Every structure is written in C-alpha cells, then in structure tokens.
Amino acid sequence: MEKNLKSMATVQRMQVAGLELFYKNGFYNTSVDDILKELSLSKGAFYYHFKSKEDFFISILQNLVVRKVYSMLIEPIEGHDNPLDLITNCIEDALQTAEHNENDYGFVLSNFISEFNGKNPEIMKYLNDTLKIWEVNLVSSLQKGKFNGYVDRHIDCEGVASYIMSSYIGIRSLMVEGTASALRYRYMQQLKFYFKAMASKQTA
C-alpha cells in the first residue's frame, strides 16, 4: 500500500513537471532528458512508469489537462437554468487566473492542438475530444437557457458556442504578449454586450 502511494506520488510529480515543460517549450522541443533533469530522475525511473515520451504526454492529457479544462470552463456552468451570467463569470475567472500567472504561454489546450495538428493523430484525438466536451457543454447549457426563457429562442446555440470558444482562445493568445489586464477588461466588456443581445427580452 505504501509502495503504491509512493509510486502514485512520483507519477503525479512527474506529470505536473512534464506539463510545465511541455506548456513552456512545446512537446517536440522537450526531450526525456529535459524531464529527467527537471525532476532529478534516472532514465530507468522514467521508463519504469512510462513506455515513451508520447505515453507520458497522453497520461498528462488524461490526468491534468482534461481536469484543468473541466474544472475551469465546464463544471462551473453545468446544471443551471440561466447560462449567460454563469458563462460570463466562468470565462472572467479563467482569464483572471491567466492574467496573474507569470508563466502563462496561452491556452494550454489550443497550444497543443496547434503543435500536434497534422503530426500525431492519436494525441490529436485526445485534444479534439476535450475540445468537443467543452463545445457540447456550452451548447447544452445555452439550449437549457432557451428552454427556461433566459436565452432568446432564435439564437443559434452551436454558433454561439463556436464564437465563445474561438474568442476565448484568441484573447488568451493576445494576453501572452499584450497588456493582459486591459485586454481582459475590453474583451469581457464586449462579451457582456454580446450576451446582453442574446438574452430573452423577458429577462434582459
């Protein structure tokens, strides 16, 4: 039991450090030796837990990236009647977290999608599946908002979800090199205007 817990703690530590390196430098610019140096591990210790760098990266996607996206962008808007205020607050919270992160290199999911697109179908499937879960959640939340009379019935929920996702990914990219607080503020003001236009006339 103690040995298993120790092994799990080691894997967790490896995954957290690995994600930081992949996020900062990219998958292809990060070698197994870079990971070992960061963690002060031997190659034997690494390959005891993972078959390859790719296997290691997939474990990071499964255990860290999906959870991160879920906890920040999906879970906060699940199971509520009025999605517009919740989506607004959810995105603003996520952007504030990024604004105060000194090691912010953009939106981790979109960074990896850009890097792996056309290069690794297996990893792209994990990334696209995570993106799809986010999209489906947004669409279902907006549809529920329409049903409950908070969102105008003529709104294209799929189109709105695509806009929210693409604009969020875009502003995260701009915030890396720009004035993060000013960009976040302006973006959120425009998003609020957009949502106000979508609100049902009965609740607007």
User: How many residues in total does the chain contain?
Assistant: 204
**Each residue of 152-204: pLDDT tens digit?**
999 999 999 999 999 999 999 999 988 999 999 999 999 999 999 999 876 55
Residue 93 counted as domain residue: yes
Q: Which domain holds residue 73?
A: 53-198
Residue 156 counted as domain residue: yes
Provide the mean pLDDT of the chain. Answer: 91
Query: Residue 159: which of 139, 144, 179, 173 has the closest Cα?
Result: 139
Given a contact cutoff of 8 angstroms between Cβ atoms, the answer to whether 151 and 83 are in contact is yes
The mean per-residue pLDDT over the stretch 87-105 comes to 88
Residue 10 counted as domain residue: no
Q: For the chain, how many structural domains are there in total? A: 1
Residue 45 counted as domain residue: no
Residues linked to residue 199 through DSSP beta bridges, in sequence order? 151
Query: Residue 108: which of 72, 75, 136 has the closest Cα?
Result: 72
Given a contact cutoff of 8 angstroms between Cβ atoms, the answer to whether 24 and 113 are in contact is no
Residue 204 counted as domain residue: no
The dihedrals phi and psi of 31, each to the nearest 5 degrees, come to -95, 165
The domain that contains 130 carries what CATH number? 1.10.357.10
